[in-house]
Structure 1
Amino acid sequence: MKVRLGIDVGTSMIKVLYGVNDGEQKLEYIALSPEVMAVDASLITEMMTISGSDFVKPEHQAIIRLGKGLDGFFVGRMAQEQRVSVAMKPLKTSSLIPKILAALGVIAHRLDCWSFSVSLMLLLPLSEDLEATRIVCQLKAIRQFYFRDKLCKISWTAFCCYPEGLGLLLSERDFEGTLIGFQFGYRNTSLLVLEDGSLNRSKSSTTLYGFHDCLDKIAYRIPGCDRELLQSAIITSSKMNYDGKQWFNKSYSHLALREAHMNEYQISILDEAWSSGLKLYWQLLEQSWLKDRLPSSVERVVIGGGASVFISPYLKEYLRSVVPGVMCDLGITLLRLNCLLLKMINGQPNKISLLDFSICGSCWSLTEGRVIDNFPQIVEFFDFA
């Protein structure tokens, strides 16, 4: 069996698409929490004994080790339940291999097939995608591993790595002039510059001023709130208040629902905290990063990433003032894609057609759950799904 795997190891979620060469050419989706925890062999044995693995979804019990009886890793919910937090400063590549193996283990469990070949595509921040060579060397050395103490044998057939956000620009490779793409992620914010269809790495850049900074600034202004609680409220609110076309209410509205008798004054505190935190975060991005990175001549801008829903109004206003007349586009299918992935995560299965991986390694394009023919694009996921 041949598995084709695309993975975005986001700091808010590990997002995976995979397809199997079985003639159906369909994509399936895996969502894993981003936490990773190194654990010793005795704890793995204990957890396997008490957790009843036969009755737990594989993505909820991702336990990885390279040899029987060795130390290993909890990935996703298993690590989350041990109160492991996600650090923002380490490189995404520092915990990449356990996450990739966890995804492969989930696939093996779902398909009940424990020996297969793998073609892998990685999405990494622009500043880290050059680490791919080192990661590939390490992965090639792994021919087998244990997932929930079951042996999984793999052979690697292909690797490719692309900067996060590049997929939003690939449809514009015939564009003559300067096209820039913003990727507003949870951990990073990136600016990609395409000149006459080619990526200019020297003009592109990534900053660690991700949306987690914004959440911290907002949570600081709300009594009894922290980043994790606010992020959970955004997720819950998006499920409640989004119909695939627009947001009905403020994304922090679920915080107000925690208190049945929250008065107008308390709600006004939420409103002020949200507005002030967003503005402060935008000022940080603009003054500490963007003003020195934006090319002097820009014909078109594409905005993507999970946080773009919240940041794009500030960015568009800024661009109108510094680049009059620039065309500005909020991604390809950002909001519709969010709705689709929420349905998947909530247990509503959606099969997504697969565009051939072999086309320049740029394999996937999603619009309302279907493929656009002849539109190769690296898929970007909504980071708060």
Structure 2
Amino acid sequence: MKERFVSKNIEFVHVGRKLKTTVIADAETAVLHAPASCYLLSLSLARKSENTIQKYASQIKSLLNEMAFDPNITSFDDITDVIMSNYLELVLMGERENTASTIDQVETTLAGFFEFLKVQGFAEKGHRFTFALSQEAELIRAKTRGRQNSHDPYKLSERYIPESQFDLFLKYVDGKTSYIKDRNEIMMRLAYETGCRCHEVTSFNNFSLVEVEAAIKKSNSNNLNETYLNITGKGKKLRKICIEPALRRKIEEFIRRYKTCFNGQLICSTDSKQLNSQYASTIFERAKNKLIKSAPLKDADRWQSNTGWTYHAFRHSFATNLGLRIESGKEKLGRSFLMDRLGHRHPQTTVIYLHFAAGLLGKLRETDKYEEEMRKKMFIYDREEFSA
């Protein structure tokens, strides 16, 4: 479905002070949606952070786009409890797979928004919604809250990026030249596929061409598909990362194509200098913004609403994916394997990822079981239809 409304970040001057806000406008006519834009402006004047305003804008825009094509809704006063409950449960929880904490945030955002509408004369009824979800949905949300409070202090439920979404993200990583584009992709992969932090990728303490080529040569001599490489991490602590076959092949091809650009380093600027420690994060944000503007609506909305999806979330996702491999038992990997790959000092930190991975694995198995039951039912139905 095409978006009826879009958002844009703008900057303005108020009593001599520069402020940033977000406006929402009609996608075709560019006419501002006055109630929503005024509300976001009021947040800027109240000195809410730029990230908070963008998050609120995303949640309000999502609601506006969903309601825009309902012929029974001609004003905010037409939105009922039932409509809002269906939006939260069927759209956000069902279609878009938003987490319980995200649903909580949406409720808070919309409560403030509707109260603003009443005070400013955009609506007569103000905030009057109960947001009553079904018993099953409330139970799921309660369980998720409990799991987050006990086992998810890093809010991994808001930061885990599935592999399918990472693959989609890579399509929007760009660069002015083929060298820069390929280098930027490898920087993203080093985070998602090996757990590297932002500053670790660009630091000249890591990924020297001599060390990378020596590690690859050692893997070849030992008949290993993966390559192991020592890097200097947080607090100047050494740890060993594992570069698995797909990424290793990309790095080998990258070296073959651009070796003259490196000046001794795998990751560097076009003039062979060290990149800024936050450069990888900048590339991430640029690709994310491009994805939000160009990807299919369902994916774009998911990336915009999940504010926890940052470059560092790639490291969290790497740890979770490795935790899934450990918890599933499909590969004989000890729990200490994850601790070593992440460079954790304390096993309690590693256990957080294992707890989250175990919960995620349970959800995946429930989904697989449900889909298998549906396939069986459809098979029986097809046989009955054929017999008739």
Q: Same fold (TM over 0.5)?
A: no
Q: Which structure shows the higher helix fraction?
A: 2
> Normalised by the size of structure 2, how large is the TM-score?
0.31
